Structure 1
Amino acid sequence: MFDHVKFGVSDFAASKAFFLKALEPIGVSVAGEGEPSYGIELVAKGSTSLVLFETKEKPAHLHLAFAAENRQQVEDFYRLALEAGAKDNGPPGLRPRYHANYFAAFVIGPDGHNIEMVCHHP
């Protein structure tokens, strides 16, 4: 749905390390990187990218949901995100209030953003 999502972070090194580790389950890699004020572009399968850049401005909290191909990727995301310093915001599990196969996990990233990984498949 997105071409790219770009948002500011207060600690570029911490956010870079967090997103690279937490998004390993979906095969994220670095597509390009410049100075912290320019940022880093992260991609997985497809053409959508996530761009992080360092800023002194305090960004509003954001909710980012990443698509997983299977439930194991959601489980792995949650575990790795917590290892990378995230705070729990909802362990892996079904969220039937959204739909019967909505399997997701939620964490709070380094800047307080709600980061989700979701699988819509049974």
Structure 2
Amino acid sequence: MINHLAVGVRNHQTSQKFYEETLRSLDYVIHRFGDDYTNFSDGISADPFGDFAIYQGEVYPMHIAFEAKNNKQVDEFYESALNNGGFDNGAPGYRSNYHENYYDCFIIDPDGYRIEAVCHNGQAH
């Protein structure tokens, strides 16, 4: 159900070292990284970017991505969220900057949390 979780950190370098060492005990390793982000994976996640990420930025709010089986579910998630008090933060669509089949939408829930529904397999409606 949860595809990936991303949290903002105050100091990326300090947090990267902390999570790299701490998550090693759970077989997580650094999967991708840049100057201001690090993605971790245990090798099982369907998300090619891993399933836990840290990024230099706001400590609150966190980002939670829910896994969808197909693009239709992403579209339905988006419409339902908007109809029930959520706010648009990115309409459904392909995000080729992540990978070719990355289809998602972004919502801000009524409390300000950033949530996403994502499908990785390119299955359209």
Q: What is the TM-score when the length of structure 2 is the normalising length? A: 0.50
Partner residue, 1:99:
99
Tell me the CA shift for residue 111 of structure 1: 1.2
Read off the aligned partner of 2:94 and give its amino acid letter.
L
Number of residue-to-residue matches in the alignment: 67
Give the aligned CA root-mean-square deviation in angstroms. 2.0
Partner residue, 2:88:
88
Tell me the CA shift for residue 90 of structure 1: 0.2
Structure 2 matches for 1:1-122, cutoff 5 A? 60-122=60-122
Deviations 1:4-51 (A, max 9, x none): x9xxxxxxxxxxxxxxxxxxxxxxxxxxxxxxxxxxxxxxxxxxxxxx
Percentage of matched positions with identical amino acids: 49
Tell me the CA shift for residue 60 of structure 1: 2.4
- Superposed structure 1 runs of 4+ greater than 4 Å apart: none
* Structure having the higher Rg: 2
Cα distance in 1 for partners of 2:66, 2:76 equals 13
Any unmatched runs of 5+ in structure 1? 6-58
Q: What is the TM-score when the length of structure 1 is the normalising length? A: 0.51
Read off the aligned partner of 2:77 and give its amino acid letter.
F
